[in-house]
Amino acid sequence: MKALSGAIRALAAAAAATAALPALAATPLPEAPHRVLDAMGPQAAHVVDLWRIFLVTCTAVTAAIVAALLYILWRRPRSGSDSTPDLTMVNRSEPGPRRHVTQAVAASVVLLLLLVAASVFTDRTLARMPLKDAVNIEVTAHQWWWTVRYRSGEVWQEFETANEIHVPVGRPVVIQLKADDVIHSLWVPNLAGKKDLLPGRTSIMQFRADQPGIYRGQCAEFCGYQHALMGLFVIAEPPEQFEAWQQAQRQAAAEPADAQAQRGKSLVESTSCAMCHAVQGTRAQARRAPDLTHLASRRTLAAGTLPNTPQALASWIADPQRHKPGTNMPTIPMSQDDLQAIVAYLGTLQ
């Protein structure tokens, strides 16, 4: 009884806390296509071609089977409840049906072999796509977000971001895929097929975006409670714009100008934020959660869950479990003043 009333009190407190949060303005998430049939690069186009071959073949086979079934039903000899059973058919030799079954089995084997050959050829073609001058990226999947690290021969040129992959249009992209905890799968249907991210192994995904745009990606392997809220965006942009973006991302965070944001910065450095997050150029250097150095330049929060607006950011920090139950980000008790200062500081991280 005591436990029950305790639970009811806890629920009431949680409801009151949720009600006190500012209502989220209805800012929509970025419009981004997530369509297999709109191939925006050669790899995706090969996958669509293979899919079309399978669709046509399987439709034709299904239609033939249904037609044969309807024909058999139509020509079946009718018998009534009082007809005597015809037992001679048990041992009767039927060369006609036997021939048809043999032909159907042969046709099935040939068609299956053709589909296998089409898959193998597609796989070969994808493996042989030119990768000269490729952009090298390392994506690590976590429950439930993505680390995106831009690799370079020069270590000082490397940088990290989260839940957004920028790529230049027309240049091949090679992504090394890793997983931190369980199996995930990266799927950006407009650019490439699915690829699993496995703990303890590195797999490779390659694609090229031929059209500028924002393409939605999604984790495509059930990985726990918030699997559905594990999205990301691929932003394909002209090469000059991509270079400028890279330059900006390599910079450490700028020092905030106004007093409120400065207070936010020292809060981020001195409270539990710094135990998980990094902001380059500050004392926050942890690597357990998304790098926040250029948080304000990203389009969404919490791996495509919320639009990146000050209201959504405040609401997310105040109660992450409300937006993404089960996420590793804890609810940290803080005053409204502190919350607003932190939001102001994070807003300066362009």
Which of 165, 219, 313, 342 lies at the binding interface for ligand CUA (CB under 6 A)?
219
Name the 3-class secondary structure at 342: helix
**Nearer to ligand CUA by C-beta: 54 or 222?**
222
Question: Segment 151-210, which members bind ligand CUA (CB under 6 A)?
Answer: 184
CB of 75 to ligand CUA, least distance (A): 51
CB of 232 to ligand CUA, least distance (A): 10
Question: Looking at 2-10, 220-228, 246-254, 335-343, which segment touches ligand CUA (CB under 6 A)?
Answer: 220-228
- When asked if residue 227 is in the footprint of ligand CUA (CB under 6 A), the reply is yes
**Nearer to ligand CUA by C-beta: 141 or 318?**
141
CA 315 to chain CA centroid, nearest Å: 24
CB of 48 to ligand CUA, least distance (A): 24
CA 248 to chain CA centroid, nearest Å: 25
Question: Looking at 67-75, 216-224, 247-255, 310-318, which segment touches ligand CUA (CB under 6 A)?
Answer: 216-224
Token duo for residue 263:
């207070």
Q: How far apart are CA 201 and CA 293, in angstroms?
A: 28
Could you tell me if 212 and 237 are in contact, meaning their C-beta atoms sit under 8 angstroms apart?
yes
In angstroms, the Cα distances linking 64 to 70, 75, 102, 237, 239 are: 10, 17, 15, 47, 50
- When asked if residue 265 is in the footprint of ligand CUA (CB under 6 A), the reply is no
Which of 135, 139, 141, 234 lies at the binding interface for ligand CUA (CB under 6 A)?
141
Token duo for residue 37:
């049939």
* H/E element, 217: strand 213-219
**Nearer to ligand CUA by C-beta: 229 or 279?**
229
Closest CA to 300 of 323, 321, 281: 323
Contacting residues toward ligand CUA, per CB under 6 A: 141, 144, 184, 219, 221-223, 227, 230
